[in-house]
Structure 1
Amino acid sequence: MWVGHFASGLIAKPFTPNTPLWVLTFAGAFPDALHFVLNFINIESFNFDPTLAKRGCFPYSNDYAWSHSAVGMIVAGLAYVAIYSALTDRKVTFKDQAILFATVFSHFFLELPVHRPGKSLNNPSRNVLTAPTDVKITPNDNIALGASLFDHRFITFLLETTLVWVSFMVFNKMTPISAKGGVMRNPNLSNYLLAMLVAEQAFFCWGSAPTTNSKYIHAPMFLGQILFTCFMLGKLD
């Protein structure tokens, strides 16, 4: 999932109005951002796969056992909450922390409909197990989870844009007026940002970068898009 990960932060905002929206939306995308950073330091890898490019969107067979396993996301969520609580000047309640953690961990459940499943393969010639490298429960699992909607571009696009639209509805209707000053100053801002996210998802499903260098071109582009999107969504506060 791509822009759908920002939806969890928008939905969380009414329940923790004192937490900045950019912090919440970045929490939803944090495992992806973490993966791109780990890719740069060779702990994980972001790999373009031309065979997957013919099947649908997200043409990558990644090694991200740490950032995209359930256990890894639990650790990432706890770390995210701890860092935010330590750095902010705002009063952070246990409820705020719990919602922030849940927003990070929502990433795991939102990946399950779209990612591609797999099982370990026995290689008799080398007598080793070649484990799948997609979404897992633990980093060392030999089973990758997912329902493969990435193989269906239009369904993925419809699912994610619908989720984002619903999240904007929740944000606009349930967030206290004091916590959405940007919307009050510019009533059309939500519509502009929704259109931006729909365009991002359309590019995700049907577009591509003019290179197959995923480590140094694709990964920075995705990371930059996450940071830019969270910055812009923060303007709704």
Structure 2
Amino acid sequence: MFIGHFAVAFGAKKVVPRTSLATLVVSAQLLDLIWPILVLLGIETVRIDPAAPNPFLTLRFVHYPWTHSLLMAIVWGVGFALAYRARTGYGRGAAVVGALVVSHWVLDWITHRPDLQLAPGFAPRVGLGLWTSPAATIAVEGLLFVAGVAVYARTTRPRDRAGRWGFAGFVAFLLVAYASTLAGGTPPSPRVVAASALIGWA
């Protein structure tokens, strides 16, 4: 899942209006922020499948238990929540950012083929495989995204024109990035995928 993670971050603003959107987005995407670093270090492994039946299945996630197992998602979530609580003193915000980190695994469980472990070293892999149907994936992510944007727009009031157009620009950027991912073809190598992911967040 891609824009669905952002949708959850947008919607969370209604629950924790004092928490910045940037923090909510980082929380929802924390696992994917750490993942490319571990790929480049050789700790986690992804492969390219040039014969994949659709763009969602181009990446084969071979080994990524330190970022995308359920147990480690909870560990990262608790750690991020504690760090946020220590920095802000905002208890509800800490609970929500921690939940957002874990929500990433839940949404990936819905979309991924069975490649997600419950814990490092725990053999069974799970995943409902929504990605096997591009139409269903786009429909589910699209509905989530529209709902998240709508909740955020109703919850917040931009202070000026820059705030209004800044959010609109961010939404447009995400949609363009999503479309380009689907139409961009097969990436040349796993390292390029990981490096591109890091550059995209820079």
* Shorter-chain TM-score tier: 0.7 to 0.9
Q: 2:137 aligns with which of 145, 156, 159?
A: 156
Q: Which residue of 1 aligns with 2:175?
A: 198
The answer on 1:112 being equivalent to 2:109 is yes
State, as a whole percentage, how many aligned pairs show the same letter: 25
Q: 2:193 aligns with which of 197, 213, 218?
A: 218
Displacement of 1:110 in angstroms is 0.6
Displacement of 1:58 in angstroms is 3.7
**Cα distance in 2 for residues equivalent to 1:153 and 1:79:** 34
Displacement of 1:35 in angstroms is 1.1
Query: Which deviates further from its counterpart, 8-17 or 164-173?
Result: 8-17
**Cα distance in 2 for residues equivalent to 1:162 and 1:222:** 24
Q: Which residue of 1 aligns with 2:59?
A: 60
Instruction: Report SS of the residue matched to 1:141.
Output: coil
**TM score, norm. by length of structure 1:** 0.76
How many residues are matched? 201
**Cα distance in 1 for residues equivalent to 2:178 and 2:39:** 22
Contact 1:153 1:205 (8 Å CA) reproduced: no
The amino acid across from 1:67 in the alignment is T
Task: Give the direction of change, closer, same or farther, for the CA distance of 1:94–1:151 in structure 2 (3 Å limit).
Answer: same
Displacement of 1:194 in angstroms is 2.4
Task: Give the direction of change, closer, same or farther, for the CA distance of 1:92–1:17 in structure 2 (3 Å limit).
Answer: farther
Contact 2:49 2:57 (8 Å CA) reproduced: no
Structure having the higher helix fraction is 2
The answer on 1:95 being equivalent to 2:92 is yes
**Cα distance in 2 for residues equivalent to 1:139 and 1:181:** 45
Instruction: Report SS of the residue matched to 1:212.
Output: coil
The answer on 1:167 being equivalent to 2:127 is no
Contact 1:161 1:198 (8 Å CA) reproduced: no
Contact 1:56 1:151 (8 Å CA) reproduced: no
Contact 2:85 2:91 (8 Å CA) reproduced: no
Task: Give the direction of change, closer, same or farther, for the CA distance of 1:190–1:104 in structure 2 (3 Å limit).
Answer: same
Q: Which residue of 2 aligns with 1:126?
A: none
The amino acid across from 1:24 in the alignment is L
Q: Which residue of 1 aligns with 2:184?
A: 207
Contact 1:9 1:28 (8 Å CA) reproduced: yes
Contact 1:39 1:45 (8 Å CA) reproduced: yes
Structure number, greater radius of gyration = 1
Q: 1:140 aligns with which of 121, 145, 148?
A: 121
Contact 2:46 2:190 (8 Å CA) reproduced: yes
Instruction: Report SS of the residue matched to 1:46.
Output: strand
The answer on 1:181 being equivalent to 2:159 is yes
Displacement of 1:188 in angstroms is 4.3
Structure 2 residue ranges without an equivalent (≥5): none
Contact 1:36 1:220 (8 Å CA) reproduced: yes
Contact 1:38 1:44 (8 Å CA) reproduced: yes
